[in-house]
Chain A
């Protein structure tokens, strides 16, 4: 038998026992009564004392019973447990899955809460190192919560209160569950065997206890011993309908038009009919009723296949906004019932052309769908304040024609002629009579561009850094290259077009069109406003230390500051929904965080998990206690003693 809280019991005993004895030895307030003689009474009392067997005991029977009752209560307070486990203390690593599927409500309130509850039962049943025991047999445990990443909630300790509190503090996320990192972390901690653990407990390897529904993405890559891992399955049903894919894009030719695509999957065994609603900024645009067929269960070689229905909407929307596709029938898992996409307003490019005068280039650029094309002399460009230029973001693309500028404000550049400095590109010499030998026709910049006959009389030899992409090559040097530097994107063309036959090729106009489109997309025409769960939200081009406020889907607000490089980073995208990033003088930016993971939407709990080579079955009945708490029995005994005491008192009083 061991005590969970021996000190509490001791303190209570120190206070209560002397008090009871004191009360007992206090003079009884007796009623006085006159009698003719106390002679016989005294004799009777003497006789009673002399004749009754175990007289001392009997006289103090009430005290004895009271002491017994008190003792049992005190014992109960000390939290005695009957250990069903022998031997040295064990070490447990509790791996608690907090991924999206653990938010399913088929187990009330959620699977995660159920897992936490089971974990706490395990913690409670751990043997604690009591100061009264002569050798330390206490169990230690650490807690790791994992979704895509593992985080150590509590490192090895035998302090149950701390463990419980930390388990309670585990927050659900909408991420994908991956176990490998958690197992690696657990092993690292178990081997390092923290200072709190003792030599005795180091003999056995730590027991991994997994609380999950078994929907883990990377089980194949994990190697554990069959004895090492215990799997406690959480969850009951697999019925769930979720949005597993969604995208929205504008047609390039007709920017007003928005194409929305969504895929709804049914993971239940019955076909379901659901209303799917499309809304922009909360205004419902369309509701469509669909029937999603039932899933096909795996049988033999056939893998599991959810029932799938795809949806397409085409609508006209001239402004920006947040698109939401939501299936309206509720089910166990709510985080996959909707998906969001952030739609930017249709935008035509603003282009700044820095040239001494190049009608060919200018007319080619004018042929592209640009909003504005501002010509500018090289001297005029050099006088611009780069900071103000970057802040205004007036131009999406700057075209440099045969000009090496003194400074490069961060922007997207299409550069003809010599490369500018400060972008790690050197041009040691000039080349003559170069012919294109190869080009990447698949790259968006060179799509549909035929460069077969391109000849340049003079060109600049390019020495590119490693991360530059070469899109076309002359026989001696790269001809067209793509480079990301200093927060900008550079498309370098190493020759003056007027020194080549390119203006006479139809491919030149196509190249201009492609390059502008590509750079325009880089500028934010299709800026990445969608994130997977857990992927950080970043906003570039902020001033250092500028304060941003991120509004989370739940309504909570988080203040973030830009780093010295002008980047705002918000990593806390643990839940699905729309996050809004705001600053004092900047427009609000929305980011959609979507689950879109069939792996997590399939919430049917696994009977057994197949690790690399080892299958671990779920434990049949919940967490088995390593000990039996004795306090209810003791409390019952105390009640019994009190009853007996009452009876004894009444018997004694009866005449």
Chain B
């Protein structure tokens, strides 16, 4: 935790926040730092009209300011039943990662919203700021079991509806959604938000060690897949998994989002302290 203290979330875009915070915001607003003028159009706030210029030129110009704003961090954590699978469990890994990132956010006075979703958003801890919220956050994270169907789309819809301001959105899930993740991610990707996609996979998913004639049951919808494990099948599975992850990565990259793949067997520390720093989520 001490090491987390030294970290801070970094938005690659200069994002604006609600409070006048510690970082530069792209938004021109009410701050003292003048940015530019622009011609008035109907509907602009008359308060920002530069009357001095009007006096000289008899044309209406608005004064634009650079504004320093706080950072809003949204953590979208998947706690559906599928996350409970794996050794070590993906859900636990995801929650611990969320806790680490949340801690970093709170410690740096960022506005933190944690949404735990399965079939829609199950628990939401909105607008936390400051270390006071640490215990509440930890309680909420650790007290939530991985259970239920997953409906990522609905969760994103709900979340993006309640999302205001700008900042960083970090989605942590295995992204094995039968209905697809594309629509949902499109909702999250917006001009004002940086999107980080963390895909958590268990070692058993990355290289399955199965043998014999099996009936695989989907833990969420009890869908069954009958397989006879063969080397060819395993080969195709691995190829499919790689393709799936690549597809997700490309989807993210093409839309300016950052994709991170994590193995639930890896240590969170390494991930957070090294990897996320390297991709400049943290500094």
Interface residues, chain A, with chain B CB atoms under 8 Å away: 28-45, 47-48, 51-52, 651-655
Contacts and interface: CB of A to CB of B under 8 A. Distances in A.
Contact of A35 (B217, B231, B234): B217
B236 to A, nearest CB: 4
B233 A32 contact: no
B166 interface: no
Nearest to B212: A31
A146 B128 CA distance: 119
Given A41-B227, A653-B229, A33 B237 contact: no
Q: Which 9 A-B pairs have the closest CB atoms?
A: A37-B176, A44-B237, A36-B82, A30-B215, A36-B85, A38-B225, A44-B236, A47-B236, A38-B218
A414 B7 CA distance: 157
Given A47-B240, A48-B232, A655-B231, A40 B176 contact: yes
B150 to A, nearest CB: 9
Contact of A40 (B83, B90, B211, B244): B244
Interface magnitude class on chain B: 35 or more
Contact of A36 (B83, B214, B231, B237): B83
B94 to A, nearest CB: 12
Contacts of A51: 236
A374 to B, nearest CB: 111
B216 interface: yes
Given A41-B227, A44-B240, A28 B213 contact: yes
A37 B200 CA distance: 13
Interface in B220-276: 220, 223-234, 236-237, 239-241, 244
Given A33-B216, A34-B217, A41-B237, 7 more contacts: A32-B214, A34-B219, A36-B176, A40-B205, A43-B240, A652-B230, A654-B230
A653 B211 contact: yes
B203 to A, nearest CB: 12
B237 to A, nearest CB: 4
A38 B223 contact: yes
B148 interface: no
A652 B216 CA distance: 18
A34 B220 CA distance: 10
A40 B241 CA distance: 7
Contact of B216 (A28, A41, A48, A651): A41
Interface of B: 82-83, 85-86, 90, 174, 176, 178, 202, 205, 209-220, 223-234, 236-237, 239-241, 244
A41 B239 CA distance: 11
24 contacts: A30-B215, A31-B213, A33-B216, A34-B216, A34-B217, A35-B218, A36-B219, A37-B178, A37-B220, A39-B176, A39-B178, A40-B237, A40-B240, A41-B225, A42-B225, A44-B233, A45-B227, A48-B232, A51-B236, A652-B230, A654-B230, A655-B229, A655-B230, A655-B231
Contacts of A655: 209-211, 229-231, 234
Contacts of A29: 213
Nearest to B176: A37
A505 to B, nearest CB: 123
Nearest to A45: B227
A30 B231 contact: no
A33 B215 contact: yes
Contacts of A42: 225
B139 to A, nearest CB: 26
Contacts of A43: 236, 240
B89 to A, nearest CB: 10
A45 B210 CA distance: 14
Nearest to A43: B240
Contacts of B224: 38
Contacts of B213: 28-31
Nearest to A30: B215
Contacts of A44: 227, 233, 236-237, 239-240
A37 B218 contact: yes
A30 B86 CA distance: 21
A34 B85 contact: yes
Contacts of B82: 36-37
A652 to B, nearest CB: 5
Contacts of A40: 176, 205, 237, 240-241, 244
A37 B234 CA distance: 15
Contact of B214 (A33, A37, A654): A33
A43 B238 CA distance: 11
Nearest to B218: A38
A654 B236 CA distance: 15
Give the residue among B90, B211, B237 with the most A Cβ atoms within 10 A. B237
B225 A45 contact: yes
Contact of B205 (A33, A36, A653): A36
Contact of A47 (B217, B220, B239): B239
Contacts of A38: 216-218, 223-225
A655 B234 CA distance: 7
A51 B240 CA distance: 13
A37 B223 CA distance: 9
A628 to B, nearest CB: 41
Contacts of B86: 36
B20 to A, nearest CB: 44
Contacts of A31: 212-215
A36 B240 contact: no
Contacts of A35: 85, 205, 216-219
B233 A45 contact: yes
A38 B178 CA distance: 9
Contacts of B90: 36
Contacts of B219: 34-37
B230 to A, nearest CB: 5
A29 B212 CA distance: 11
B233 A36 contact: no
Contacts of B239: 44, 47
A43 B231 CA distance: 15
A93 to B, nearest CB: 63
Contacts of A34: 85, 216-217, 219
Contact of A48 (B83, B209, B236): B236
Contacts of B236: 43-45, 47-48, 51
Contacts of B215: 30-33
Nearest to B89: A36
A30 to B, nearest CB: 4
Nearest to B178: A39
A47 B227 CA distance: 12
Contacts of B228: 28, 652
B178 A36 contact: no
B178 A653 contact: no
B2 to A, nearest CB: 34
A33 B210 contact: yes
A29 B225 CA distance: 14
A47 B226 CA distance: 14
Contacts of A52: 232
Contacts of B174: 36-37
A653 B237 contact: no
A652 B231 CA distance: 7
B73 to A, nearest CB: 27
Nearest to B223: A38
A651 B230 CA distance: 8
